[in-house]
């Protein structure tokens, strides 16, 4: 069963690479109607979720039996370390990030988060304003509050996005507002 899972993950990786190339090529196109985002802009917002699912190693999943659990302690140690990192309180309520997760801005002021996202989106790309909240397992998850595209505000759907730790590790630049 594990080999079957590896083949599926490899297939998802190929799909992700195609979608990433599509987004890079079409991201600057204008929407057909005002108030809407293009397919590339919509995909740009969702691709980090797909990437995190592909890269995430979950030794506790249903495909790994007890024998493997005892034979591969490195995967289990990684899982424990990852959960511990995800449970560290970032001490901020909001973060602002671009669709490629290269820049991250932290603040407790929602207004400042909106202003930063609006200003950065005028320069390039889609910028999200994310709520940072602790969830039941003790980790800190982000939720899509809103986003800006070319200076235009759009309501987010308030769904969960990524663990804050994942975004912080991916970001090349982290700034406190």
pLDDT in tens, the chain (177 residues): 344 556 677 778 888 888 888 888 888 888 877 778 888 888 888 888 888 777 764 444 333 344 435 555 666 666 677 777 788 888 999 999 998 888 999 999 999 999 999 999 998 889 999 999 988 888 899 999 999 998 899 988 888 888 898 898 888 888 898
Residues 6+ apart with CB under 8 A from 64: 2
């Amino acid at each position: 069963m594990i080999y079957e899972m590896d083949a599926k993950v490899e297939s998802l990786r190929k799909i992700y690479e195609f979608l990433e190339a599509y987004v890079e090529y079409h991201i600057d196109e204008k929407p057909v109607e005002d108030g809407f985002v293009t397919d590339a802009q919509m995909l740009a917002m969702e691709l980090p979720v797909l990437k995190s699912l592909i890269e995430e190693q979950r030794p506790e999943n249903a495909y790994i039996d007890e024998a493997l659990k005892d034979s591969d302690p490195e995967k289990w140690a990684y899982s424990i370390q990852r959960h511990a990192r995800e449970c560290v309180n970032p001490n901020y309520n909001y973060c602002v990030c671009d669709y490629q997760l290269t820049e991250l801005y932290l603040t407790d002021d929602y207004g400042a988060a909106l202003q930063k996202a609006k200003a950065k989106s005028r320069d390039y790309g889609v910028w999200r304003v994310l709520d940072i909240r602790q969830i039941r397992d003790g980790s800190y998850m982000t939720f899509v509050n809103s986003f800006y595209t070319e200076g235009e505000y759009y309501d987010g759907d308030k769904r969960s996005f990524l663990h804050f730790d994942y975004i912080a590790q991916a970001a090349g630049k982290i700034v406190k507002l």
